[in-house]
Amino acid sequence: MYRLIIRFCNFIFGKHKSNTLPRYWILAVDMAIVVIAYVIAIFMLYFKDISASTFDWSRIWLVPVVYLIAFLLTKTYDGMLRYSGFNDIRKIFYACTGALSFLIISKLVVRQISPTLATNLYPRYVTIIYHYLITMVMMTLMRFIIRRLYNEVYKNTGDKLNTLVYGAGDGGTMLMRTLNQDTTSKFKIRAFVDDDPKRAKSQINTIKVYSPKEAMTPEFIEKFDIDVMIVAIPSLTEERRKEIIEQGMALNIVVKAIPSFDKWVDGKLSTNQIQDIKIEDLLGRKPIILGKSNVIREINGKVVLVTGAAGSIGSEICRQLMHYNPAKLIMLDQAESPMYDFQFEMNNTEDFKEIRDRMAFVITNVKDPIRMREVFEEYRPQVVFHAAAYKHVPFMEENAYEAVFVNVFGTKLVADLAIEYGVEKFVMISTDKAVNPTNVMGATKRIAEIYTQSRQGKTKFITTRFGNVLGSNGSVVPLFRKQIAQGGPITVTDRRITRYFMTIPEACSLVLEAGSIGDGGDIFVFYMGEKVRIWDLAEKMRKLAHRPDVEIIETGLRPGEKLYEEVLANEENTIKTDNEKIMHAVVRRYEAAEVDAMMDRLYEQLVTCDAMKIVAQMKAIVPEFKSNNSVFSTLDN
């Protein structure tokens, strides 16, 4: 019987392009239903004495004609049966009700003119009404039977991923409906699991709901041959979501999730929105969500310059800034190819279509005094976000000259031009590596902090410090993904190494918020959550990729690398701000004349291109700089 049903479905659906029945087939079936319903109505009314209904049989031609016209007007045959839903039922209701109304009203009118004609031409009122009800029911049932056959038999004959849905509430039922309607879906729901004990043992469309104690076991996974678990509770807390994901990972199944309700398109879920679990979901920290009023006040209607705009941090700052209605956004970077890609993205983002004329893309280096002066002269920025910097620790250990030239003197050039051209606020993006630096990169950022903090006046200088950003260029997450894709090994410098992490959007929103509340001379540090062990991060990414065969190996600390990052130096303290996620660091202040003398001495050593002399002078400026690099550690006092 099952094979016969499959053959029938293959004949019905598989014979036509896109598995869609021709519209005239649907119309023909609807008309057949109209005739059959008329016959059923007669038998229902006269089942005791069928001969009494003889006069009604001769009028059967009129009813189909009226219904045919109604179907043509409302286009009840125009939809695809496998997607039949409320709109199709509504069309059927309008068509049948219109036909019924026409038959009744026209019979009343004709009876006033000629009672005999009305008797000979029209069926009885009760026959018309019975026929109307039966027709509607049969047409609706036909569509849902076809839809069910398609979803349950024809569509499910291919290879499917046996799926366990975590969540039997609104999210889970909507997910089931979405999967049933999508002909391209590869998910076949085998069971539901839900935390609510009241839902356990119940069913959703014949599919049973289990408790976590029953379902989240190796035995259950093996019994139902589960391939995938989809977390379908959009309102879950971060802690519970993390627990469920890790439970699924421990069972060696693929874990996916649906987004929160506010991200559904027009209140509907699509299969394209079923997301892979990202490593961010397993960090065990709540995402930082900030208000917008402070940033709107600082950015709305102003000319804003972002250096390093093609980088991961700079580009996200630009994306967020465009939502705050700047008068002009100047995006500056020296990297041609990334800048080209970013320009293409910004010019083709739907949200920015109306404000493309406010964007300007500039290719130049922040250490080029001629071109940078030209940029300030042409655009006259009112707010500057300085994200341009070299940040790769091992590279900068080998290229101290370039690190100092860009990170220190590039920052100095942009800061000096900001003062000269009357910039209102200058926000510098720093790093936690500037705290008790152990490498050249961290020391250059600390010197840049010292310089900008000493330049206070009409232009307000603000520094923001934060740790590693997930997914940023050069971070461990893209590196681990690449290594996993290549079959490993995943390289971790030391099993003990830990880092603070936050997402790129979080980091950038905090930068904008800190820039708006800063009043000059401030160094703000951000709440970074708990430290993450890099070895644990690698193991979780390996599990997410379902690559237990990929090996994780230790390679040893690189020159200048720390085991543990710090957010504040030993002699620094913090003061709370109105935002609990942003703290104000109390650091030593330097006089401008003292800093100028330091910078002159550093430049004298820079032009020698002698890395040892350059680093020695950096250590004189930043006494807490204790190098982890054996080459430079001999310079420590």
Backbone φ and ψ for 453, nearest 5 degrees, come out as: -70, -25
Select from 200, 198, 221, 45 the least CA-distant residue to 129. 45
| CB distance 620 to 601 below 8 Å | yes
| CB distance 493 to 555 below 8 Å | yes
| CB distance 474 to 391 below 8 Å | yes
Backbone φ and ψ for 174, nearest 5 degrees, come out as: -65, -35
What is the per-residue burial (b if ≥16 Cβ within 10 Å, else e) of 291-322? eeebbeebbeebbbbbbbbbbbbbbbbbbbbb
Query: Going by C-beta distance under 8 Å and a sequence separation of 6 or more, which residues neighbour residue 488?
Result: 547, 549, 550, 551, 552
| CB distance 388 to 332 below 8 Å | yes
Known catalytic membership, residue 445: no
Handedness of CA 516, 518, 523, 524 (dihedral sign): negative
Select from 512, 333, 520 the least CA-distant residue to 423. 520
Residue 560 DSSP symbol: T
For the chain, the first-to-last Cα distance in angstroms comes to: 88
Return left, alpha or beta for 573; rule: phi > 0 is left, psi -120 to 50 is alpha, else beta. Answer: beta
Select from 610, 569, 561 the least CA-distant residue to 586. 569
> Can you read off the two tokens belonging to residue 399?
């290229």
Query: Going by C-beta distance under 8 Å and a sequence separation of 6 or more, which residues neighbour residue 353?
Result: none
Instruction: Return the residue matching tokens 């690559």.
Output: 547
Q: Assign 456 to helix, strand or coil.
A: coil
List the catalytic residue out of 107, 155, 328, 433: 433
Pairwise CA distance, residues 206 & 190, whole Å: 10
> Active-site residues: which are they?
433
